[in-house]
Homo-oligomer: A and B are copies of this chain.
Amino acid sequence: MNDLLKGKKGIIFGALDEKSMAWKVAEKAYEQGAIFTLSNTPVALRFGQLDELAKKTNSTIIPADATNIADLYDVFEKSMEILGGKVDFVLHSIGMSLNVRKKIPYPELNYDYYKKTLDISAISFHKILQVAYKLDAVNEWGSILALSYIAAQRTLYRYNDMADAKALLESIARSFGYIYGREKKVRVNTISQSPTMTTAGSGVAGIDSLIDFTERMSPLGNADAVDLADYTVTLFSDLTRKVTMQNLFHDGGFSSMGMSLRAMHQYNKSLEVDFPG
List the interface of chain A (C-beta within 8 A of B). 2-4, 69, 105-109, 111, 114-115, 118-119, 123, 126-127, 129-130, 133-134, 150-161, 163-164, 166-168, 170-172, 174-183, 185, 187, 194, 206, 209-210, 212-213, 218-223, 227, 230-231, 233-234, 237-246, 248-253, 255-262, 264, 266-274
- Selected from B154, B182, B209, B223, the residue in CB contact (under 8 A) with A271 is B209
> Which among A167, A227, A234, A259 has the greatest number of chain B C-beta atoms within 10 A?
A259
Question: Whole-angstrom distance between the alpha carbons of A256 and B5 in the complex?
Answer: 27
Q: Are B273 and A273 in contact (CB under 8 A)?
A: yes
Complexed CA–CA distance, A194 and B250 (Å): 22
Copies in the complex: 4
The CA of A166 and the CA of B178, in the complex, are separated in Å by 17
Cβ–Cβ contact A178 & B260, under 8 A: yes
- For the complex, what is the distance from the CA of A249 to the CA of B153, rounded to whole Å? 14
Are the CB atoms of A253 and B157 closer together than 8 Å? Answer: no
A interface majority secondary structure: helix
Contact of A267 with B267 at beta-carbon distance under 8 Å, contacts A154-B258, A258-B155 already known: yes
Residues from chain B with a CB closer than 8 A to the CB of A108 are 130, 134
Judging by beta carbons under 8 Å apart, are B264 and A267 in contact? no
CB-nearest residue of chain B relative to A141? B220
CA distance A245 to B108 in the complex (A): 19
User: CA separation between A242 and B176, bound complex, in Å?
Assistant: 27
Q: Which of B111, B183, B213 contacts A127 (CB 8 A)?
A: B111
Contact of A210 among B179, B259, B273 (CB under 8 A): B259
Q: Is the CB of B171 within 8 A of A267?
A: no
Set of chain B residues within 8 Å of A172, measured between Cβ atoms = 164
Show 17 residue pairs from A and B whose CB-CB distance is below 8 angstroms, ordered by the A residue: A106-B179, A107-B133, A118-B118, A153-B256, A161-B175, A178-B257, A179-B219, A210-B259, A213-B267, A223-B242, A227-B241, A230-B241, A242-B252, A246-B249, A248-B248, A266-B271, A267-B270
